[in-house]
Amino acid sequence: MRIIALIFLVLTGLAALPAAADESTSFQVSPVFDLRVRQEILDGVYHFAPDPYRNWVRIRSRLGAEAGSGAHDFKLLLTNEHRHFIGPGEQVFDWDELILDQAWWRWAINPESKLTLGRQNVIWDRGFLMLEGHPLDGSRSIYHNAARLQAPLGRGGLDLSVIYNPKRDPLVLARDKDLPLTDADETAVAARWTRGAGKWSAIWKNETDPDGVLPHLQVLTLGGRRDWGVGDAGELLAELALQYQHEDTDGYAFALQASYADDLGKKWRGRGGYFHYSGASGDLKTFRTPWGRWPKWSELYIYTLIGESTPGRIHVAAWENICGPHAQVSRTLGKLFDLRLTAYWLLAPQTDWTTRGALTQTELKFRIIPQLDGHLLWEMLVPGAFHDGRGGLPPLTD
């Protein structure tokens, strides 16, 4: 009912705005449409399933409109993503569900403050703690149902969100209304204060599984991040998150990332870094990222993590008990192309820093016209001892 009330507010405001606008305020509506077509070929990645080869095309279409008048803006966006299966075997074509992706009203209270209500995206930086609202449906959508205030505070800026994400979406417009979006019903308050190069955050999150499979979980995550400029082109990043988890047994967890980037001559740019998500050991628990379960480090390796799932909880893109130093070089090729080469050495801190393997990536991004871009991504994992039949799973050898 909370979500329905939010969406009703957005649609009512959009319908009433022209009548409320005075003669000096213009009302503008702009259509929104985009289409994303992506092919994924996974060979030997689902090592815990019988068939090692999978090949499908994912087609996501979105259609909607943005509207604005004076200090008020609105957005309504419908989304569908379906897959055409090439292998394994014959698959029945399925258009999948039609969802309400975005439905929000934004009020510019003053030039420095704004309030956004409804179904919206909430992203902090590149998503270490805050990006997607529901990871279990892949990359179809990343919305939160939220009330978000962005305003000055002291000598910095405040970003405050109150969030409610149900396990299943009551506003699916067609087809699969029982598709799980999250592990449980989520209620949260997320706050971030930014001053200069420093960012300090606190996220309290409550998870209650309506199916009664997972235990009730409360998590408090405190984070700090700082970005520095070094010399003419150097960039240094350090981010740390400390976490307290209240479940059947209480415990603590942590996650961190650090990197340094700089130019390598006139054409190349290099980056080196390290990330770490704690695993379970005594009072130390596996880190439960609030909303950072997405292919931040790899689009390939997230699928191998499904094999580490626990009853009622699918671990796809759940960055837990994993760390890795990494190195990257990139450059622009003319006006149309960008090239990136990255290598990771992945480990499992618990137990005994077992090697997960060496992961390499080659990505070519291209821009044909402003309205059309894309990329080609190739990833390969050379498995380590962690995947050698661990926990009764078939060994990962490809």
Q: For position 4, what pLDDT does the model report? A: 45
Does 3 have pLDDT greater than 50?
Answer: no
- Element of type H or E holding 96: none
Q: For position 321, what pLDDT does the model report? A: 94
Does 397 have pLDDT greater than 70?
Answer: no
Count of other CB atoms within 10 angstroms of residue 277: 24
Residue pair 13/20 in contact (Cβ under 8 Å)? The answer is no
Q: For position 50, what pLDDT does the model report? A: 67
**For range 229-258, the mean pLDDT:** 95
Query: CA angle, corner 295, sides to 185 and 373, nearest 5?
Result: 120
Phi first, then psi: what are they for 124, rounded to 5°? -110, 120
Q: Band of the pLDDT at 103, cuts 50, 70, 90?
A: very high
**For range 110-134, the mean pLDDT:** 94
Q: For position 349, what pLDDT does the model report? A: 94
Q: For position 394, what pLDDT does the model report? A: 64
Q: Band of the pLDDT at 237, cuts 50, 70, 90?
A: very high
pLDDT in tens, 50-88: 677 888 898 999 999 999 999 999 999 999 988 888 877
Biggest CA-to-CA distance, the chain: 71
Residue found under tokens 């209240």: 246
Name which residue leads in pLDDT, 136 or 227: 227
- Looking at 118-127, 199-208, 239-248, 366-375, which range is the least confident one? 366-375
Name residue 278's amino acid. S
Does 19 have pLDDT greater than 60?
Answer: no
**For range 19-30, the mean pLDDT:** 64
Q: Band of the pLDDT at 25, cuts 50, 70, 90?
A: low
**For range 201-227, the mean pLDDT:** 96
- With pLDDT > 90 as the criterion, what percentage of the chain qualifies? 65
Does 90 have pLDDT greater than 90?
Answer: no
What is the token pair recorded at 352?
């005994």
- Looking at 36-40, 185-189, 362-366, which range is the least confident one? 36-40
Q: For position 23, what pLDDT does the model report? A: 44
Q: Band of the pLDDT at 12, cuts 50, 70, 90?
A: very low
Closest CA to 147 of 158, 162, 130, 132: 162
Residue found under tokens 């990359």: 139
Whether this prediction's pTM lies above 0.85 is answered by: yes
Does 175 have pLDDT greater than 60?
Answer: yes
Q: For position 396, what pLDDT does the model report? A: 67
**For range 216-228, the mean pLDDT:** 97
Does 323 have pLDDT greater than 80?
Answer: yes
Does 392 have pLDDT greater than 60?
Answer: no
Name which residue leads in pLDDT, 191 or 39: 191
Distance of CA 377 to the CA centre of its chain: 18
Q: Band of the pLDDT at 309, cuts 50, 70, 90?
A: confident
Residue found under tokens 């409109």: 65
Average pLDDT of the chain?
Answer: 88
Q: Band of the pLDDT at 174, cuts 50, 70, 90?
A: confident
